[in-house]
Structure 1
Amino acid sequence: MFRSTPLRFELFQYNAECRFMDIDSDVVDITLVINGNGEVPDQLRPVIRQINIHSDFIFVFIPNFIPNSVTSILIFDDDGSAFDPYDHRIHFDQVLPDSVTYLRFPILKDVSWRTNNYTLPKNLIPLTRNIKELDLGTMALDGKVEDFPPCLTNLTLSQQYSPSKAITKLKDLMYLQRLSINFNRLYKIDSAFFPKTLESLTMTIYQEIYNGLLPPNLVELKLINPEPIEMGSFPASLTKLKLFKFNQPLVPGFLPPQLKSLSLELNSQILPNNLQVLKTGDSFDQQLDVNVLPSSLTSLIFGPLFSFPIKRGVLPESITDLNLGSSFNHEIGVGVLPSKLLRLDLGYDYNQPIKANTLPPKLSVLFISPFYNQPLEPNVLPPSIKQLALGQLFDYPLEQGSLPPSLTYLVLPLNYNQPIKPNVIPNTVTHLGFSHSSNPAPDLHIIPTGVKTLIFSNINYNSPIEKGFIPSTVTKISINFSYTQSLIPPNTLPNSIKTLTFYRKPKERLLPSVLPSSLTRLNLYYSDNNDTSQLITPESLPITLKSLCVTPPFLSKNLFKFPIIIK
């Protein structure tokens, strides 16, 4: 089979059983996820760019197999439930290839006593001479590590650190641009601690932040600190700031003048006049008054606890993107929402009737709460809406005019069990999703003729799809039928389809005439331990196919002569 496009793909859960894989010369980039023993075929070695390896198999692959093509190594540890700290210490007996520039060690979950069972060599530089990005996870620098690789640009240290030789030498890293670090309550730093080159800093610290402590060229700062922050402490270059455990009032001049994005627990009426993006903190729940939010604001995201009603005039007219968070459930009055609003997410709990003239006339995207179950009266939604996501509990009949006439994206919710009348779904819809949990199944005659992406999810549909049901404009289709008989007779799917996805195994084998001749990507996302060779054969695949993505059952058979993306 001939293909002119280079392919990139991943091999998941690689082990000895995967030796059958035939790797085509078109493959230029492979990520190898190692979760077992086995030898890697020689034809894989030149094209492996990244190795993701479970810590249990570190002895097998790290000392003996790192091709010079590899640039990234990720050592992971999923849950540690069967981990033996005495038999699986991470260490290396050889220098990494010069090609490796990224190295990540395990970030262990919920097992703090295990962190010291991973060991690092005293001198990291020979081991990682060309490393530019280093993630040490929860490894403790317990005084044994003296230096970091000199070429580092990105460094992540998740452990809570106290003084060590390596930590005190961070200032000497001449190329370091991004740093993530946590300090314990006893560790205090001074103005000479950070390199001047630092542009992005994520830091947990327990000390007062004073003027000159932070690097002068910072552009992005994420700070977790319950202690006071002195006026003028933020560098003037800062444009993005996230503050956690921040509990002091804001005063004029406290925030840097170039700040564009701010996330914090809002506890003051003073925000920068040029602020564009604001996300309130997780515990923010207070009444907002008029003139608190700056007129420059374009994006406002409320945290999960915000539950106060919003009065008219509180939201600046400049806002184009609004998310009301998880707890907001108050009726929205006329004139409350900004007239320039383009995108609105009503949040998680919202279940108030949407009344006429409450939504702004330019609104383009509307996300309705999962708990919303109120009727949508005709002509209430603005005609400007192009994308509409209905809540999962919505189950009211849709009448002609209930949906905006310019709608292009529509997904019907899981519990929607109302019959859909002809001409209710506008012909402008190009992305349409049906998601039913029980009968009745949708009448496929109501599918608009302009649909390009069609999704059937969790549908109890027991009749064959007849030719002509699927419009010839459809290029992408996903099928997740709960069917009892063969649903796709030969020559039924239009030749316009380029991507086809099955989420459940068809009852019968896919014959060559079932898959359209235009198909370029086939996804088989289902799990079945039965013999998959009876379902599909190379002869049933059209010659136009460029990508095949399958689930693990397909690993057992050498059915294909081109690369497979294995999920």
Structure 2
Amino acid sequence: MTCKRLFAEIHNKRQLQLKVTPKKGISGVTLLDNSDVVMVYSLVSISRNLPPTLTHLELGPKFRLMDHSFMPPSLTSLKLKSVLHYNLRFDQLPPSLKTLELGDHFKNYSENTNRRMPATITSLSLGNVYNDGLPSGLLPSSLKSLTLGARFDQRIGERSLPLTLETLRFGRSYTQEFGLGVLPPSLTSLSFHEYSLYEKEFIPGVLPNQLQSLTLGKEYNQIFRVGSLPPALTHLSFLSSIESKYNQEFQLGVLPASLQTLTLGHTFKQSIRRGILPNSLTNIDLPMNGDQVIEPGALPNSLISLTLSVNPVISVGMLPNSLQSLYITSRFADVIPMGALPESLTKLSFEGCLYLDHPITPGTLPSSLKTLTIIYIHPIIQGTLPSALTSLKLINFNRIIQPGVLPSSITALDLGHLYAHSLTAKVLPSSLTSLRIGGSPLTFPRLETLEISSLKHFTEIKCDYIGSLVINSGIDSRKSNGTTPWPSTKQHFGSFTIGSRSHSSTTDPKYRVQHIKSLIRSIPNADSYNIHSQEWSVQLRKTDPWNTIILISTYKCKEDEQSIANKKRIQFVTLDKSGELVSRLEDEINRLKKENDRLTITNAELVKSRTKTDDVNNRLKQENDQLKCKVERLVQEKKEESKKLESVSNQLNQYLKE
């Protein structure tokens, strides 16, 4: 059972059974998105074997892999992060191994010392320190992916790379020219680090015909001849920043007809003429500098997504009718001409540019537009926004929105942190489900997602239902370390999120649990909690009103790799130790109350039944008295009848005598 699955199981409230066997020497658990189990060791050695089902193993920076016997044969992925040099024996690695990542301990290779790698390895990273060439026997014959690290700068000879290789990555230092036949014909992806020093020209025939992706670094500024780029190439990318040096004009026929994605750096200043770009292109990232011109019809009709940067200008006829997404990432100082944006456009973004110098007039935006992101400081008049718009993001916007300005089709609205005017159902469309604001007063019946800049602004929110509440502010543990309470609310949320990876935290780990408890006591009615910072994040799910399961992630930046390593661990936390006892007492009191109510009802029924019995007895007594009276009356009548009969009999006898 992994941490990830454990958290998911509890989050989904499923029934589960856990069998945990502690292993001596295990210092923690880390998770990968594509794996089930990854064990992390920060010790020097391991004194016992690992579970026989383990598939992914990562050994920490202090670990020297001198004894291989503890590794199970089920292992398929091994990461050795050690910074301490030692001689690694490849022939003692598990024969099932497919992925191997080496650390700074691996500086050179000798077949006599290191032996041959398992033939099953398909993905290999030689680490950032290795710079000893690629001798025969180092690379497995079945290798598909190879990463050469930051210091590698050795010439690669013919047949040095396996004929099965599909992906090849170089670090920053590689500067060697490729000869003909060096890159295997199986290669489909070739990439250099974004700050790579590589600047050699690719003469025709160097790049294999099956190559589909080529990514080049900032130093590359060589012209491509006709035939230099392979016919199967679909992705060509240069560093997309002002540090990129590429500024070569593309000649007719240079770009292959298979190309789908083209990314050029900000220093590219060449004009784009008709016929240069192939009709296969669907995505282009293009800077516009100085006198650079994009001729009408130069952008192919296959184009779906276009990004314009530096000093973009849009003219009528420039954009093809196939375009669906347009991104402007630099200041846009020009007016968008009427009819310049095609009716095929569904997404338009000005995010990244400082602002629009001129307001947008009604009719400028196409009626097909569904998503709009814009840095806007001008008033929005009615009719400016298309009626089909479903998502609107306004950045640096602080103008009053009049009723009827926002289309009734909008479901997601982001007004940014500067917007400070009241929002009501008269201004907001009834279709709205997601809203992001700063501290604006809000009155609205229902929102699936609400994001505000600070929890203190929640006092100005009047909303009957909020599915997810997001607080876009950092966490200061020095003010909220368990002693200073959070702003409190009893409203129910499906989820509560505070902070982000862009916010730094001063939270002392020893106060972290107190910090979380304080937050939950102030906002007790959320199904799940998410707390984020640059250094750590916490995902929390209450298993009952007093206990929670917490997934804690810690992050550390690696300067040499410019990446982020994370470790994740599970904690079980009791929010209120006396709460469960109090609850049991309350349950017992409620049970006794119910029992008392039941007995009261039973007694009432018995009293009622007794009353009914008395009524029956009285009725029977009355009937008996009536019967007695009736019998006495009948007896009296009988006596009277007897007297009458006796009188008649006497009269008859008297008559007979006469």
| CA displacement at 1:531 relative to structure 2 | 5.0
Which of residues 528, 532, 549 is equivalent to 1:563?
549
Aligned mates of 2:274, 2:91 — CA distance in 1: 57
- Of structures 1 and 2, the one scoring higher in RCO (CA 8 A, sep 6+) is 1
CA RMSD of aligned residues (A): 4.1
Distance 1:63 1:404, change over 3 A: farther
State TM-score, norm by structure 1.
Answer: 0.74
Q: Is 1:382 the equivalent of 2:397?
A: no
1:194-251, Cα deviation, whole Å (9 max, x unpaired): 1111111123644332332211211222256433434222222222222445544333
1:335-359, Cα deviation, whole Å (9 max, x unpaired): 1111221110112233322231111
Aligned mates of 2:93, 2:417 — CA distance in 1: 56
1:49-75, Cα deviation, whole Å (9 max, x unpaired): 34475xxx7117966795555533456
- Corresponding residue number in structure 1 for 2:77: 102
Distance 1:460 1:522, change over 3 A: closer
Distance 1:441 1:170, change over 3 A: farther
- Corresponding residue number in structure 2 for 1:84: none
Secondary structure of the corresponding residue to residue 401 of structure 1: coil
Aligned mates of 1:271, 1:381 — CA distance in 2: 33
Q: Is 1:287 the equivalent of 2:299?
A: no
Which residues of 2 match residues 204-219 of structure 1 at below 5 A? 205-219=174-188
Asked if structure 1 preserves the Cα contact closer than 8 Å seen for 2:130 and 2:152, the reply is no
Aligned mates of 2:264, 2:11 — CA distance in 1: 52
Aligned mates of 2:54, 2:290 — CA distance in 1: 47
Q: Is 1:424 the equivalent of 2:405?
A: yes
Distance 1:90 1:439, change over 3 A: farther
Secondary structure of the corresponding residue to residue 377 of structure 1: coil
Distance 1:160 1:460, change over 3 A: same
Which of residues 331, 335, 338 is equivalent to 1:356?
338
- Corresponding residue number in structure 2 for 1:235: 208
Which residues of 2 match residues 151-550 of structure 1 at below 5 A? 151-159=120-128, 161-163=130-132, 167-171=135-139, 173-182=140-149, 187-203=154-170, 205-222=174-191, 225-244=198-217, 245-264=219-238, 265=246, 266-269=248-251, 270-281=254-265, 283-302=267-286, 308-325=292-309, 327=310, 329-368=311-350, 369-373=352-356, 374-391=358-375, 394-413=376-395, 415-437=396-418, 439-443=420-424, 445-456=426-437, 459-461=438-440, 463=441, 466=443, 469-471=444-446, 474-481=447-454, 483=456, 486-487=459-460, 492-494=463-465, 497-503=466-472, 507-511=486-490, 514-515=491-492, 519=494, 521-525=495-499, 532-536=516-520, 540-541=524-525, 545=527, 547-550=528-531
| CA displacement at 1:299 relative to structure 2 | 1.3
Secondary structure of the corresponding residue to residue 486 of structure 1: helix
| CA displacement at 1:441 relative to structure 2 | 4.9
Aligned mates of 1:272, 1:554 — CA distance in 2: 48
Aligned mates of 1:129, 1:307 — CA distance in 2: 60
| CA displacement at 1:334 relative to structure 2 | 1.1
Asked if structure 2 preserves the Cα contact closer than 8 Å seen for 1:538 and 1:560, the reply is no
Aligned mates of 1:74, 1:272 — CA distance in 2: 42
Distance 1:23 1:500, change over 3 A: closer
Q: Report the residue type matching 1:174 in the other structure.
A: S
State TM-score, norm by structure 2.
Answer: 0.64
Asked if structure 2 preserves the Cα contact closer than 8 Å seen for 1:240 and 1:260, the reply is yes
- Corresponding residue number in structure 2 for 1:3: none
Larger Rg: 2
Which of residues 49, 56, 81 is equivalent to 2:36?
49
Asked if structure 2 preserves the Cα contact closer than 8 Å seen for 1:261 and 1:277, the reply is yes
- Corresponding residue number in structure 2 for 1:34: none
1:513-565, Cα deviation, whole Å (9 max, x unpaired): x115xx3x4434487766543543599447xx4x543456899x997545334
Asked if structure 1 preserves the Cα contact closer than 8 Å seen for 2:264 and 2:287, the reply is yes
Total equivalences in the alignment: 492
Asked if structure 1 preserves the Cα contact closer than 8 Å seen for 2:146 and 2:167, the reply is yes
Q: Report the residue type matching 1:321 in the other structure.
A: S
Distance 1:104 1:398, change over 3 A: farther
Q: Report the residue type matching 1:263 in the other structure.
A: S
Aligned mates of 2:348, 2:411 — CA distance in 1: 16
Asked if structure 1 preserves the Cα contact closer than 8 Å seen for 2:369 and 2:388, the reply is yes
Distance 1:120 1:499, change over 3 A: farther
Distance 1:59 1:304, change over 3 A: farther
| Structure 2 gap ranges (5+) | 19-24, 239-245, 476-484, 554-658
Asked if structure 1 preserves the Cα contact closer than 8 Å seen for 2:255 and 2:277, the reply is yes
Distance 1:212 1:330, change over 3 A: closer
Aligned mates of 2:387, 2:522 — CA distance in 1: 44
